[in-house]
Structure 1
C-alpha cells in the first residue's frame, strides 16, 4: 500500500490505497518513516505523493478507533522528513486531511493540484494534533490562520492555501509530476553534501 522507489538520488514514496482515500494504517506509517530515515543518508531529493485523487485522508478509521490517531508514529514520520538533509517535496495530488498533514508540513516544498483541499479536524474529533504540527503550520501561515484550520475546523481550498503560504505552487494535475521533477533537478545534479550544506544554511 506504499510504493517505494529508490532512484538514483531521487526517492519517491507513493501512498497507494486509493479505494480507502489513501488512509494510513500503522504498517503504512512505519514503512514511510523507515523510508524517510533511510533516504536521509542516501537521497538528494525525497518526494511523497499519493495515488488517485486524494493525497491522504489521514488515519484508517478502524485503526484510528484503536488508537492510531494519537500514535507516536505520526511524529516519528514527520520528524524523519524534517531532519532529512535532502530536498523534500510533498506532491499533493489531492485532498490532505488529519494526521497526514504532518508529513506535508515537514517537507521543504508543497506542490498541489487545484482540486486539493486541506483540513485537520482535531477540534471536532476531540484529540490534540501531533506535537510538531501546530508549530510548523504556524511558521507557514501565521497563528491566526493556523487557528482557522486547527480550532475553527476550516477546510481550505488550493488557491487559498497558496495565498496563505501553506502550499508553494498550484499546478494542473497532468503537470504535477513534471513540475516536481523540475524542482528536483538541481539537487539531483549536486552532491548530497552540497544539498545538505545549503539546506542547513536555510534552517
Structure 2
C-alpha cells in the first residue's frame, strides 16, 4: 500500500480525525507515510473551516511504534521528512489532540509531543529509544519533552531508556488526561466541542498565544 493509503482521514464537520492505519506493523511510519502526514497537516493549516485535529492509531493496540526500522536509516536528497512532518504538525493553527490508545514509541512520541494535548488509555506506554537505535531526536522533541516533564525526567527517557506506563506518564506531565480505553476517542471529541463551535480567527489567535508562551 502507498503511504497515503496508510494514513486515513475522516472529516466530520469542523473536526478532522487522522488515523495511522498500519496495525499489522504496529502503526510504524515509512518515509511515504511521513510525507502523507506532512501534506495533511499543511492542508489543515490552510483550511479556514477546520477547528480541531485528532490523531490516533488504528487497530486498538498501538498508537505508533515510530519509524519503520526498514526505512529508519534511509537517506533522502531533500529535507528531513521527520522534521518536515513535525514542523507541519506544530504549525496547525487549531487545537490538536493525540488519542494514545497503546504504545507510543520513538517517532510516535514526535506526533504526541507535536499535539497541544495528549489523552491516553491504560494500555499506553511511552519510550524514545534513540540511543538504542543510534539516531538523534528532533530538537523540538527534546525541547518540548523537557518543558513538559523537566530536565531529569527527560534525561531518564532519552539517556536512560526509561519506559513509562500510562499512569506514570500522567504523573510526570507527559499525558494530560487518562481515559478508559473505550472512552478515549469520545473524551477527545468532547474536549473539542468548544473549539468546534468557536469563531475561527479567535480560536487561532488563542492557540498562537498559547504556543508563544511554551
Asked if these proteins are the same fold (TM beyond 0.5), I'd say yes
| Selected match of 1:91 from 87, 99, 102 | 99
Query: Conserved in 2, the CA contact under 8 Å of 1:111 and 1:167?
Result: yes
- Residue ranges of structure 2 left out of the alignment (5+ in a row): 1-5
- In structure 1, the residue matched to 2:146 is 138
Is the counterpart of residue 181 in structure 1 residue 184 in structure 2?
A: no
In the TM superposition, 1:5-84 aligns within 5 A as 5-42=10-47, 43-52=50-59, 53-67=61-75, 72-84=80-92
Query: Conserved in 2, the CA contact under 8 Å of 1:36 and 1:81?
Result: yes
TM (normalized to structure 2)?
0.90
Distance 1:132 1:20 in 2: 26
* Residues 195/54 of structure 1: CA separation in 2 closer, same or farther (3 Å cut): same
Query: Which structure features the higher share of helix residues?
Result: 1
Q: Alpha-carbon deviation of 1:132?
A: 1.3
Distance 2:39 2:12 in 1: 16
Greater Cα offset, 145-154 or 95-104: 95-104
Give the RMSD, CA atoms, in angstroms.
1.3
Q: Alpha-carbon deviation of 1:198?
A: 1.2
Is the counterpart of residue 165 in structure 1 residue 165 in structure 2?
A: no
Give every structure 1 segment of 4 or more consecutive aligned residues whose post-TM-superposition deviation is greater than 4 Å: none
Q: Alpha-carbon deviation of 1:7?
A: 2.9
- Residue ranges of structure 1 left out of the alignment (5+ in a row): none
Q: Alpha-carbon deviation of 1:200?
A: 1.8
Greater Cα offset, 3-12 or 86-95: 3-12
Greater Cα offset, 90-99 or 193-202: 193-202
CA deviation string 1:56-87 (max 9, x = no partner): 1111121114348xx72111112111111100
| Selected match of 2:163 from 155, 175, 188 | 155
Is the counterpart of residue 199 in structure 1 residue 199 in structure 2?
A: no
SS in 1 for 2:126: strand
TM (normalized to structure 1)?
0.95
